[in-house]
Amino acid sequence: MWGRVYCKGTPLWLWHAINHETGEIIAFVIGSRKHEMVKELWDIITGLNLEIEAVYADNNFAYHKVIPGNILKTGKKNTQKIERKHLTFRTRLKRLARKTICFSKSPVMHKFMVSLLINALEFGINYFQT
């Protein structure tokens, strides 16, 4: 999923992994749409010592370079939960909406706001409550 920083020409991508059964976010990184970001995410996931049976993803070239082919399954069939999360993120944080006048002015602020959103939605931490 992507969000814009400063203008249309500078998107930042949110790469995140969820538990397919529970829908909880396991790990996430924010950066470009290149295989280096997938490698960073994959390193975080493998560092958690989880038993990974399958990885469901779209057909982006970056997944094929990093994730072993025996567990990588591409296609839209098993990505409904993550797409639903994307819709929730776009609804809650207008910086992630596709057609909006809201955007982040710096990559640091964009990463900070997306991180706050994930913490608030996934872990019930409300930073904005007084």
> pTM for the complete prediction?
0.77
- Strands 55-57, 2-5: pairing kind: unpaired
Asked, for residue 34, whether it belongs to a domain, the answer is yes
Which CATH number belongs to the domain containing residue 25 in this structure?
3.30.420
How many domains does the structure of the chain reveal?
A: 1
Range of the domain at 86: 2-122
Percent of the chain at pLDDT > 90 equals 11
Asked, for residue 8, whether it belongs to a domain, the answer is yes
Asked, for residue 129, whether it belongs to a domain, the answer is no
CA distance 10 to 6: 7
Output the pLDDT for position 45: 92
**Span 63-118, pLDDT tens digits:** 888 999 899 998 888 888 888 887 888 787 777 766 666 667 778 887 888 888 88
Q: CB atoms < 10 A from the CB of 106, how many? A: 10
Asked, for residue 128, whether it belongs to a domain, the answer is no
Backbone phi, psi, residue 16, to 5°: -145, 155
CA distance 109 to 106: 5
